[in-house]
Structure 1
Amino acid sequence: MERSKIQVLCEACHSIFSQEELLTFKQIQCLKKFLDRIEAIDVGIDEFGLGDSPISSRGLLSAQGFSEITYIHIHECNSFSMGVFCLPAGKVFPLHDHPEMTVFTKLLYGSMHVKAYDWIKLDNTAACPTSAAVAGLASCVTDGIMKAPHESTVLFPRSGGNIHTFTSLTPCAILDVLSPPYSEDSGRPSTYFSDFPIPSLPGYAVLEARPLPDDLIVEGAPYLGPPIVEDDNICEFGFRNYA
């Protein structure tokens, strides 16, 4: 039986992220290739579903049926997590970080405005601020519109726009693969920030940690895509082919 696209991606992630080593260029390109193949229907979303019903006539989640930011959980293990954020038009996901994480993202449909920052070292010895930092200097690395179809993107713990915010210009969906996953117990909480641009330094801002925004509403929805099969044989297959 032919494996689904999401199954292949999951196997590749198990193989690559379980090694606990720095990703190689080949591994990054491998995961990006698998992400680039995935469409909304591959994760159980009907991009073209009509009406306000949450379930389309095809028995999938309807892209037009989300009234709030909605998270669809697909998979999580110790080494990575995988899920989809679906946003109706005009919603803002506040500025937040991905502490010590590598994040692969695929915009499945729609368009959004993305603004992303990286922390700045102030000298040769000072470390970049951590997720627990109250404030720090950051450079803006992305400030523009992303529109599907768009190739997958990747951010790293200290580069690529690890701290970002996005605003949906149309209904849109974002497939995220995070390694390792968020974990309060392991010191990887999600921290939210306010940004204060510096007029005398275009492209730079001071970021200050803030509490979880009161107006941030994230609902949950079931995963209706192809089931992900997990067993020892699949993990072995993954290690031989993607390591």
Structure 2
Amino acid sequence: MASLVQRIASQAARTFRNTKNPATFQQQLIKLKELTRTLTADDINFDVDLVRDTRKFNPESGEAPFTYIGLWEDKIFSMGVFVLRSHTSLPIHDHPDMFGMVKVLNGSVNVKSFSKVVNNDGTDLPKDEVMSSTDRVLHRVHLHGTQKIGTSDGVCVLDPLNGNFHEVSTGETPGAFFDILSPPYD
């Protein structure tokens, strides 16, 4: 029988291969969320030594505030693990036209997400009330939600329209999370 991470990869391929049919896509996404919700650090042989150092991160140390471990990438999706040291963050950013899924494997992370505010015709609202700047393009955004996610919590899903601008941070302890992006960066 295939391992859980292999089953997640197969389901991610089925889910993101064809997003054109909304009903089918939602059914496949629910299956992917359910599989991913059960993922643990042991399922991917995660090295817990990566989260043992609980000292507050010192930006002057010359060390990186986080580590990324790539697990899989093809034209449809990528899977990996982010390890954030305590008191660090992945600053606010977006994944243009991408879906993202976050499942915490160790510790906890805080996810603050924002959605772009658009006119009824889909165009950006005037830039006079800017809250976020990404790649030198300014967007007006509103807070979509803030949540603290731990290992026993479900999967956080960020889609191209809802919550796509986001920040992931840690508090007193480090955190590690499994991440799926579709489509992946090229």
CA contact (8 A) 2:14 2:28 kept: no
Shift of 1:162: 0.5
Q: What secondary structure does 1:182 align onto?
A: coil
CA contact (8 A) 2:15 2:29 kept: no
Aligned equivalents of 2:134, 2:97: Cα separation in 1: 9
Partner of 1:228: none
Percentage of identical aligned residues? 29
Shift of 1:110: 1.0
Matched, 1:26 2:14: no
TM-score of the superposition, structure 1-length normalised?
A: 0.62
Matched, 1:163 2:159: no
Shift of 1:92: 1.4
Shift of 1:111: 1.7
TM-score of the superposition, structure 2-length normalised?
A: 0.80
Partner of 1:219: none
Shift of 1:86: 0.6
Match of 2:94 among 75, 93, 97: 97
Aligned equivalents of 2:92, 2:4: Cα separation in 1: 31
Partner of 1:180: 183
Aligned equivalents of 1:86, 1:79: Cα separation in 2: 23
Which has the higher Rg, Structure 1 or Structure 2? 1
Partner of 2:153: 150
Q: What secondary structure does 2:152 align onto?
A: coil
Post-superposition Cα deviations, 1:64-103, rounded to whole Å, max 9, x if no partner, equal: 2696300000000001011000112111111110100011
Partner of 1:111: 108
Aligned equivalents of 1:114, 1:15: Cα separation in 2: 27
Q: Which has the higher helix share?
A: 2
Aligned equivalents of 1:74, 1:8: Cα separation in 2: 14
Partner of 2:144: 141
CA contact (8 A) 1:80 1:181 kept: yes
Aligned equivalents of 1:126, 1:25: Cα separation in 2: 22
Q: Could you say if the C-alpha distance between residues 39 and 139 of structure 1 is closer, same or farther in structure 2, counting changes exceeding 3 Å?
A: same
Q: What secondary structure does 2:86 align onto?
A: coil
CA contact (8 A) 2:115 2:165 kept: yes
Aligned equivalents of 1:15, 1:150: Cα separation in 2: 24
After TM superposition, where is structure 1 displaced by more than 3 Å over at least 4 residues in a row? 65-68, 128-133
Aligned equivalents of 1:137, 1:99: Cα separation in 2: 15
CA contact (8 A) 1:101 1:157 kept: yes
Gaps of 5+ in 1: 48-53, 55-61, 184-243
Q: What secondary structure does 1:110 align onto?
A: strand
Q: Which amino acid aligns with 1:63?
A: V
Matched, 1:11 2:10: yes
Aligned equivalents of 1:144, 1:9: Cα separation in 2: 24
Post-superposition Cα deviations, 1:16-64, rounded to whole Å, max 9, x if no partner, equal: 22235355221111000110111011122144xxxxxx5xxxxxxx432
Q: What secondary structure does 1:13 align onto?
A: helix
Gaps of 5+ in 2: 55-62, 126-132
Aligned equivalents of 1:163, 1:86: Cα separation in 2: 20
